[in-house]
Amino acid sequence: MKNVIVTGTSSGIGLDTVVALAKQGWRVFATMRKTAKSGPLESALVDAGLRDRVEIAQLDVTDAASISAAVEAVLSKTGGQLDAVVHNAGVAVGGAFEDIRDDQSRHVMETNFFGVVALTRALMPTFRNQRHGRVLIVSSDAAFMGQPGNAIYCASKWAIEGWAEAAAHELNLFGIEAILVEPGPYRTPIWENSPHIMPPESPYYAWSQQLFKAADEHTERTARDPIEVARVIVKALEAQRPRFRYPVGPLARITHAVRGKIPSRLMRRGVSRLLGLHRIRA
């Protein structure tokens, strides 16, 4: 039985990934920042008859002590062996970057970037000693092009992609694979649970109003079932020779294909018109 740690499993892609991996016979350590929110995952596992294959544990990727305790607890149960980690924990904050406080921006970066780096570093001695392991990061199509009102989240995903490309050189020395899974819009709670910063006195107020309304409508039309992402994660973890990048969903594949081929000015103009932002004047 292969062992895997999955972060951010209380809902969405993380929850579906835990269930999908357990179905394939993996022993899953499903972690989340607040285990009090484990109800939906536990119900899904019971319904699938998989509760005995999954252990739920507390892990806050922004807390060094929490990372250390979780890694120690997992390895004590696996005999010091681990086959993979799935970095799925993520947060966002929407709004014009000028309106977003530094602490809000740093929280996104601490979770989406530094948390991935810190947890991977804590697992590296195990992966190196056994000369194998897979570090799978759930990135986003937000890493392919800038999105209005989403600058901080985009920055976090661009950062983790750059880190993964560079760190892969080091990981490969020891037979460790780095993998990026890059979904487009999927029906997950991340945006519902994210702050939408739109102060009435902001010079971006009208622009933000239009943006959030249009973005919600666009997501409602195009968002897909997160089980698709979970299946790609399983495929990547079980592939004999996994690809480095897996764009998931039609929009992600399109934006991945045109990345660097269409001038940024034209991309911004197209997105602005799609969301009706071109009608807003400062």
pLDDT for 189: 82
| Domains of the chain with bracketed CATH | 3-275 (3.40.50.720)
Q: pLDDT tens-digit profile of 18-71? A: 999 999 999 999 999 999 999 999 999 999 999 999 999 999 999 999 999 999
Q: pLDDT tens-digit profile of 173-184? A: 999 999 999 999
Across 132-146, average pLDDT: 94
Report the 3 state secondary structure along 72-86. Answer: HHHHHHHCCCCCEEE
pLDDT for 220: 85
pLDDT for 119: 98
* Pair type for strands 84-87 and 54-58: unpaired
Cβ atoms < 10 Å from Cβ of 252: 24
Q: Which residues are catalytic?
A: 153
- Three-state DSSP at 125 gives helix
Q: What is the CA radius of gyration of the chain?
A: 19
* Pair type for strands 27-32 and 54-58: parallel
pLDDT for 259: 81
